[in-house]
Chains A and B, each alone.
Chain A
Amino acid sequence: MKKLINEPADVLSESLLGVEAAHPELRVDHESKVIFRGDTPRPGKVGLVSGGGSGHEPLHGGFVGEGMLDAACCGEVFTSPVPDQILAATNGVDAGAGVLHIVKNYTGDVMNFEMAAEMAAATGGVEVVSVVTDDDVAVQDSTYTVGRRGVGATVLVEKIAGAAAEQGRSLAEVADVARAVNSRGRSMGMALTSCTVPAAGEPTFNLPQDEMELGIGIHGEPGRHRVPIAPASEIAEMLIEPILGDLEFSGDGGVLALVNGMGGTPLIELYLMYHEVDRLLSKAGISVSRSLVGNYITSLDMAGCSVTLLKLDDDLLRLWDAPVKTPALRWGV
């Protein structure tokens, strides 16, 4: 293992020191490992809290700020945060208008956010609504699985629901926006390499030079299929086809296309992939209204990418374009 770390056990706490130093507009609670927007709580504004295991940066801490999250709870690498952390974040952002929990659909995240919401209800005061993201088409949603994973659409939920909260919409309205984004978004990912969890010290799985994993999540878990490596044009088809097969994307509003890097793939390749995706969408008669290319929801040092499509409408488009000022997404301010 070659990493820019001191001790594997200190990776998260030392990284949070860096976040604090680099972003004075944010406030870091090192005890609870929560990144807060510096000016939270803001009277009358619905608080947005997300969180999950670390190792997906910039998700979620990089999305804390104006027009997006009020707080992000940082679990250990690939391990969901504990209820105490989530409760501290919830209480810290509540300004009386209620708090929205944005939870990726993983067993641990769902259980810990659920326990935190139960604790918030038991201690009284804060109204919490949870929205669970589950946009990954690689997982069959059936009684035989825990349901689809929350992946790329989570970034879009945080941006768009964040803009709705910034406009002063109510908790129920912000939650509706978050659910709409999740239900209109679909993702599919692939890996060229595994990733190395610092505490484990070696790659989570071994992937030979001539093979790739299709249908991966964001925790270094193997995908659903291991297939021979292929040119980018064919990989793009393998990612786009199941997405288009799952939801009708043609329509007046067009789509938002996100080509996301898994952490270890250079931007030159992500833009090459974006070209392939764009070409396939235009062949399918789908117009791309907005795009995003880069590393937004990653899996440590994994090489590979995911594609997320979001079916837009006027409201979602306006909310997407609204100003945002966070470490990782910033425009209009």
Chain B
Amino acid sequence: MGRVTFMMLGDVTTVIDATAVRSWLVTFAEEVADNRDLLTHLDSAIGDADHGVNLDRGLTAVVTALEGIDSATPGELLKTTGMTLVSSVGGASGPLYGTLFLRMSGSAGDQDSLKPDQFAAALRAGLDGVVARGQAQPGDKTMYDALAPACDALDEAIAEGLALGAALSRAAEAAQAGRDATIPMLARKGRASYLGERSVGHQDPGATSAALLVTTARVLAGEGSS
């Protein structure tokens, strides 16, 4: 590693506080709303045409719930998000995204802010929760295939000493590449698995929404998500 690391961890600009986490969650909700029809369209090819509708309904409830919380830690915001999704989404997405945020909350604990490596650890805890709940493995054509490469890329970028914004951009690129890589995959989980070979050639809707979750995380570093 030739990269210098003196400007990294501990630098106040790289700390993720509750305001940043809140704006990430709200931005994710907005992006899902904007991509609602796309997600539902992808789901109609290999699922049951409800992913966009359900996730949008859940995240709309999340935004309302977050508005009711004045001051909070990142962990509390993530917990409210997880609980709200479990209670309002249904399907497989509710337990999976709900578990993701609840595990992130557990990892974040009651700290007022998270350093980049702590955020990366929280995201990985969320990924582990998704695996525990859904038993997904690499290449099953699920949200795992976008999230796992993003976690790996984030860990590597932080270890290399990249600034938070650059590290999150790397994670976003990895998530998008992972999402695109689901197209030729044969689905082995969820309703898409019933299609067997016919699931090949379609982008996975869960990997698509998971990629939105990671790309919007760039707002944590005060950057745009598009």
Contacts and interface: CB of A to CB of B under 8 A. Distances in A.
A220 B45 CA distance: 10
Nearest to B198: A222
What secondary structure prevails in chain B residues at the interface with A?
A: helix
Nearest to B196: A224
B90 A81 contact: yes
A144 B199 CA distance: 13
How many chain A residues sit at the interface, stated as a range, is: 35 or more
Contacts of A84: 86-87
Interface residues of B, number: 34
Contacts of B191: 106-107, 217, 219, 221
Contacts of A106: 191
B44 to A, nearest CB: 5
A294 B178 CA distance: 45
A215 to B, nearest CB: 8
B40 A107 contact: no
A111 B92 contact: yes
Contacts of A82: 86-90, 94
B190 interface: yes
Contacts of B48: 78, 197, 204, 219-221
B92 A107 contact: yes
Given A222-B195, A222-B198, A80 B50 contact: no
Given A145-B188, A220-B48, A75 B90 contact: yes
Given A79-B50, A197-B49, A204-B48, A112 B95 contact: yes
A34 B98 CA distance: 22
Given A76-B90, A115-B86, A146-B189, A197 B50 contact: yes
B80 to A, nearest CB: 15
Interface string A180-197: 000000000000000001
A77 interface: yes
Interface of A: 53, 75-84, 106-108, 111-112, 114-115, 138-140, 144-146, 149, 197, 199-200, 204-205, 217, 219-222, 224
Those 3 A-B pairs whose CB atoms lie nearest each other, nearest first: A108-B91, A111-B95, A108-B92
Given A112-B91, A205-B44, 6 more contacts: A107-B134, A112-B90, A197-B50, A200-B53, A222-B195, A222-B198
